[in-house]
Amino acid sequence: MFSRIARSAVSIARSFCSSSQSNTKVTVLGASGGIGQPLSLLLKKSPLVSQLSLYDVVHTLGVAADLSHIETRAQVTGYVGPEQLPQALKGSEVVVIPAGVPRKPGMTRDDLFGTNASIVATLADACARNCPEAMICLITNPVNSTVPIASEILRKHGVYNPKRVFGVTTLDIVRANTFVAELTGLNPAHVNVPVVGGHAGKTIIPVLSRCTPKVEFSVDTLTNLTRRIQDAGTEVVKAKAGAGSATLSMAYAGARFAVSLLDAMNGKEGVIECAFVRSEEGECTYFSTPLLLGRHGVERNLGLGKLSALETKLVAEALDELKASIKKGEGLCECANTLTK
């Protein structure tokens, strides 16, 4: 099962510019930001996108004009400000949301909750009103809380479909693949490591026992590698020294997930990605596991599968934090009630 989870970097790159085509409108909410611009660029390259709708509160027209000069089929349109948000979303089949403020040194993802929670609530409300059947791919941190927020907003509008709301955790898989390749000398394009749980600190659980090709590490190396994967976002935040967080790698990971989803929506079989979704696979109501994607979103949740003793321990240790983050998101009732009145 896990051997099919992550496509190689070579196949992912090809999918951005393959010959297959579809007529799909994709909207990026937060398109002018550090993640939004490179993410939009990668989506512009995909033949699976026929209309690329870009929305932000500033500078979107310039970003759209810039991207529109690229010689690919996607027609790019920019929208600025709340009054143009409905038009940006009308007819969208996939909505990717990187909107929000980035982390700074010393901040955790959870520190972003106050600002980013209200942003996600507002955007989810707009999606519910203007494209209620769209696939929604949430990048905005803290993902462990923003996915429950968006889900509750959609539920209050009566349009919630758990098979169509995804927390994009793909960057954790991308990092795990890269770090394993660095240690082993393998080609990172051929390394596949599933990552389960959530998308913050110890809730990020790399299933290194199911890496393909199979790898062996000492206990110390395995512990350090797991910790590095969990703390990789902080590694970037520190390296940028106040200039932002992981933008380019997140844009790549977000585009990878969106293209996988588009592939599946267009009938490609066997598309598997990990994502943070509504789940019945464990003690948490939301959990990231490998998902078989299809025309209507999640076709089948493939669950955790067999874990090593260390991985089982890591899952158990992550549950309290994950449950608290989910409850925090679901508890944003006052904001939800205000937005839906």
Residues identified as active-site:
199
Beta bridge partners of 300: 292
Distance of alpha carbon 52 from alpha carbon 150, whole angstroms: 22
From the list 233, 221, 25, the residue with the least C-alpha distance to 130 is 25
Q: Which residues contact 23 (CB under 8 A, 6 or more apart)?
A: 50
Q: Is 164 exposed, middle or buried (0-12, 13-18, 19+ CB in 10 A)?
A: buried
Label the pairing between strands 51-56 and 297-301: unpaired
What's the sign of the alpha-carbon dihedral 18, 21, 26, 31?
A: positive
From the list 21, 8, 84, 82, the residue with the least C-alpha distance to 50 is 21
Structure-token pair, residue 275: 């994502």
Chain centroid to Cα 14, Å, comes to 20
What's at 335, amino acid-wise?
A: C
DSSP for 14-34? Answer: HHTT-S-----EEEEETTTST
Strands (E), the chain: 25-29, 51-56, 75-80, 94-97, 135-138, 165-167, 195-197, 204-206, 271-278, 286-294, 297-301
